[in-house]
Structure formats: C-alpha cells, structure tokens
Structure 1
Amino acid sequence: MVEGNNSEATKFILLGLIQSPELQALLFGIFLVIYLINVIGNLGLIILIYIISLLHTPMYFFLSNPAFVDLCYTSSVTPNTLVNFLQEVKRIALPACATQLCCFIIFVVCEVYMLSVMTNDRYAAISNPLLYTVIMNRRVCIQMVVSTYLYGFSVGLLQTMLTFHLSFCIINHFCDDIPLVGLACHKTHYKDIKEVILFTLAGFNTLFSLFIILISYIFIVFAILRINSAEGRQKAFSTCASHLTSITIFYGIIIFMYMQPKTRHSLNTDKIASVFYIVVPPRLNPLIYSLRNPEVKNALKRIIEKVFSTVK
C-alpha cells in the first residue's frame, strides 16, 4: 500500500502464509477441508441441540453459543484467506479489513467469556442439582449470553477504531490486530498507545476470565468432594472434562499469542499462531463436547438411526 502526503489508501496487499504457488494450492485444499469440518461440526452441534428436546437445558444452551461463536470467528477470516490462496496479487479493501478485524476480535472475546459462563453453569449444576433449573433459568441464561456478546462487540469496535487510525504499508497474512500494529509504517506516540491498550485489554480479558474459571473450579472441586458416592463424583468430573479440555486448548493458544514479551514477537510466529487459534479450537470443540457427552452421542445416534430407517 503506497501512501501519499494527503491521500488515504483504500486497499491492503497481503503477503499470505507462503509464497510458493504449489504450496499455496496445497494449503488451499487443507484449509478448505478444515473449514468445512469446522462449519459442519459447529453447525451440526447447534442444529442437534435445537431439534432434540432432551437437550433444551441451560447446559446445552450455553454449549450452542460457543459453537456459534466458533463458527463466526473462523468464518470471519477463512473465506477471504481461501480466496487469496488462488490469487496472484492478494488484496483486501480497507473496509473489508476493518470488518474482518472487528468481527474476529468480537468473537474471540466472546469465546473467552463464554468459557467463563459455562464454568459458572457447571458449578450451579454440580453444587445445587435439585435447584439447577431454577438458578439457571431462561432469563438468567439469556442475560449472561447477551452481556458477553455486548462486551465482545464493544471491545472489537474500540480496538478496530484504534487500529485503523494507524498508517500501514502491507499486511502479513490477514487482518489480525497484533500483526497490523506491528506493520504500521511509522513509529509514533499513537502507535505506542495502541500497543499498550491492545495488550492491556488482551491481558485483562484473558486473565480475568481465566480467574473466574479457576475460582469456579475451586468451588466445583469442593462441591464434588462433598458428593457421597464414588459414582456421583465420577459423573461430576466427567461432566467437566470436556469443558476443561476446551479451556486448556483455547487459553494455551491465546496466552502464547498475546501474553508473551513484546521482544519475543516476530511476524512469522504471530502469523502461525493466528492461523492456529483460528483453525484448531473451532475444529476440536464439536468433537470434544460431542464425543465426551453421552447425551449428545445418544441424540446423534437416534437421528442417524431415524435417517437410515427412513431411507430404507
């Protein structure tokens, strides 16, 4: 992107993941397959929860929202990435880049706090099973989810507005916040402020949501230990296992991406990490939650059997 003294650029040039045409074609195929798995897995989980009345509980209501968020944030980036794999000159318009960045931040922040909300739901289910549906009534569930979306939207909008007050020469791979700020053309006081706000908000959202999760799980452990039967304790631990697996994967990637010292950042490392947290969590979450959840597996089994019986 070439800047004049009084002109504003309307397009960015993307460097992409790799410059070899042969490898770009291979990556296109790999990314397309992974994206289709993401869409089918998350959309399938949402539809399954919607159509099976047995899954109309607070737990599965909260489970359907992370699936929706995973679907949205991978869809905010992947289609444009796939198109650019097939283009010799990779460009993205300024409004499209801003929209991509805003949507991506919104849904990543939502994902962080959805995991926290799900932890509170698990604590309510384990500590007060008889009052669970009363405590986590429909109104409470909707309020928790809506507040998460509203906060994610405000953070995404703020970060995008701050980022696009900078001047850029080129974008490395796609419109993610850390690479964008690192590739700003001029070192200015405003860029320093943006970096401070970026890492402060990223650190706050990551650590605060992780703090909520850790505190909730401390209470969950105590609640499980108060269960008299070994079978009951095992069932309670099993209920939390898929959620803990998802938390470990997601927060491990986010902490690596945003919380490492600034001196250790490199554009190539950030680029690979960005791809990793776009591709991996949305693909694994449907598998984690469905394969470890007997109710989801049984519901899916009944649907498959019904389809086959109808075909026959």
Structure 2
Amino acid sequence: MHGANVTTWSFFFLEGFSKYPRLETVLFVSSLVMYLATLLGNSMLILITALDTRLHSPMYLFLGNLSFMDICYTSASIPTLLVNLLSAQKTIVFSGCAVQMYLSLAMGSTECVLLAAMAYDRSLAICCPLRYPALMTRRLCVRLASVSWATGCLTALLETSFALQMPLCGNRIDHFTCEILAVLKLACARSLLMDLTMLVVSVLLLPVPMLLVCISYVFILSTILRIRSSEGRHKAFSTCGAHLTVVVLYYGAALSMYLKPSSSSSQQVDKIVSLLYGVLTPMLNPIIYSLRNKEVKDAVKKLLGRLPQCQARGDF
C-alpha cells in the first residue's frame, strides 16, 4: 500500500454496459419498461392491501412490506442506470454513491430476513390452522417486520461505512451501480476486517434465513401430504406456492452474487445477474402473487370495479 495513489474521490465513473454501445438503447427501453412495471405492480399491491379489509392479515402486511422494499430497491439504482445509458459521462457523486450503496444493501438484506418471516407465517397457517390467529398475532407480525427492517438497515450501515472508509486507488467502477463488491475492487489493499464483515453478514443474511425457510417448508410439505382431500392439498399448495417461487428467484440470484469465489465468473456476468436480481425479480413479485392468489385477484377486480363509479361521480 506504500506509495499507492490513494485519493479521496468526489465522484465515480460507472462503466455500466459502455463496452456494448449498441445494446445501451435496448437496455434502456427494457429497463425502463421493467422499472415502470415494478412501480405500478408493487404500488397496486400496497394500495389493495391497505384498502381491502379482507387483506388486513399478517400475510398481506408482510406482502405490503415486501412491495415497498422492492420499490425502494429499484429506485435506488435504476434511475441512475437509465440516465447513464443515455449519457456520455456516466458519473455519480460520492454522496450519491454512498446513498445508492446503502439503500441497495439495506433493502436487499431486509428482504432476506422478511422472506424467512413470511415462511414462518405460512408454516403456522398451514400446520396450525386452528391456533394460527392466537399464534400469529398482529403484535408478533409487526415485531417480525420490525426485526427484518432493523437487521437489514443496521447491517447495511455497517457494511457501507466500512466500504467507504477503504482507501481507493481509482474511481472507475466496473458496474452500472455503486454495488459494494464492485467498489471494493478499487481498494488499494485487502482489509481483513472488511472481508470478515462481508463474510459474516452474507452468512447471516443468506444461508441462515434460507435454512429457516427450508425448515418451514419441510413442516409445510409434511402437513400438506397428510391432507386427504385433493382440494385441500391444492389450496394449501396455492397458498405458499407464490412465496416459494419468490424465495427461489431471490435467494438464487443473491447466492450467485455474494457467496461465490471472486474468480468464478466475469464482471460482465455479475452485471447481468445484478440487473436481473435488481429489476426482474421486483417486477415479477407482484405478478407472481397476483396470479397465484385468489384473494389478491378478487381485491384487484374490486378496486378496478370502483374506478368507473368514481369517474361517473366526478363527471356528474
């Protein structure tokens, strides 16, 4: 580290997909469409869970939190990506980079814990249906959601503060966002404390919640297989099928990003995985829950049915 060109950078260059200029227009259009779909779909889910009294239950409180996280997560990085795809100077100021890194880590980490809480909720609903209202009280539901938020925000603050204190020997980030692993590649030297922090946080927020999800689904599947009627089994599967689909998509992408050897894939592959992880998954979440959940579909139809009435009253 002695003699290295260590500088306190006021801004960073985001290389993004500049090596493929012909793809930038295609990426801009596709990213914009997916971002708008993410905002619309998740906002719709938040709206119907707030307005429809039939959805005032723990499952939908968790789902509302998940939708809000997806909006925040995509809004932290996609607007910058869209601007840079059309700009010759793909830059971001230091403070913007810090906020972007923190929000991405906080929302991603919170979602990891929240998905485990949602799996626990589904296991109680299916394995103990008669005792479910007494076990999963609104107070416990709020506590689980609060613990998810607190865990994600605090671990993100720890990682971001350590990463931004690292001496950097360059300001050209080979990514389309201030992703922490891409920023740490600019460090002048490895830090044992930073590596240990990243490892501990990654293990706590990925394999541990995923293990809890697996345990919950072992109990769920064992209970479903004991249900005699095919209609009862179908209803139980449809209840947790949407959540399981989201879990596979989310943890699969996250594990491929944060728990792999650094030399196992190129940075270009990492950027593509990040784009899918950061845009596609949040966009698919409301679609998956809407298609697999009769209560959500009924609430959407009810909300859409009110719109013509509201317009008629306004015209009158």
Shorter-chain TM-score: what band?
over 0.9
Query: Distance in 2 between the 1:183 and 1:39 partners?
Result: 33
Unmatched 5+ stretches in structure 2: none
Equivalent-residue separation in structure 2 for 1:304 and 1:263 (angstroms): 50
Taking only aligned residues, the RMSD between alpha carbons, in angstroms, comes to: 1.9
Deviation for aligned residue 1:135: 1.4
Correspondence list, 1:39-118, <5 A? 39-118=39-118
Indicate conservation of the 8 Å contact 2:202/2:258, yes or no. Answer: yes
Alpha-carbon distance, 1:136 to partner: 1.2
1-structure distance, mates of 2:5, 2:262: 31
| Cα shift readout 1:24-57 (whole Å, capped 9, x = no counterpart) | 2332222111110010011111111111111111
Q: In the alignment, residue 116 of structure 1 is paired with which amino acid?
A: A
- Once the two structures are superposed, the pairs formed by residues 147-162 of structure 1 within 5 Å of their partners are 147-162=147-162
The equivalences for 1:170-181 within 5 A come to 170-172=172-174, 173-181=176-184
Q: TM-score, normalised by structure 1?
A: 0.92
Tell me, what secondary structure is at the counterpart of 1:174?
coil
Question: So what's the TM-score if we normalise by structure 2?
Answer: 0.91
Q: Which residue of 2 aligns with 1:218?
A: 218
Map of 1:1-312 to 2, 5 A cutoff? Answer: 8-19=8-19, 21-168=21-168, 169=170, 170-172=172-174, 173-184=176-187, 186-188=188-190, 190=191, 192-311=192-311
Amino acid at match of 1:180: V
What SS is found at the alignment partner of 1:262?
A: coil
* Amino acid of the structure 1 residue aligned with 2:216: S
Cα pair 2:122 2:240 within 8 Å, conserved: yes
The alpha carbon displacement at 1:311 in A equals 4.3
How many percent of aligned residue pairs carry the same amino acid?
36
For 2:114 and 2:208, the matched residues in 1 are separated by 13
Instruction: Tell me the amino acid that sits aligned with residue 31 of structure 2.
Output: F
> Contact (CA 8 Å) 1:181, 1:195: kept in 2 or not?
no
The 3 A distance-change label for structure 1 pair 256 and 21 is closer
Aligned length: 307
1:148-193, Cα deviation, whole Å (9 max, x unpaired): 1001011100100111122331112210011111232x234x2x44
Partners of 1:179 and 1:270 within 8 A in 2: no
Asked if 1 retains the 8 angstrom alpha-carbon contact of 2:6 and 2:167, the reply is no
Q: Contact 1:98 / 1:160 at 8 angstroms: preserved in 2?
A: yes
Partner SS for 1:129:
coil
Residue type at the aligned position of 1:156: A
Q: Give, in angstroms, the shift of residue 310 of structure 1.
A: 4.7
Give, in angstroms, the shift of residue 262 of structure 1.
2.5
8 Å CA contact retained: 2:106, 2:153: yes
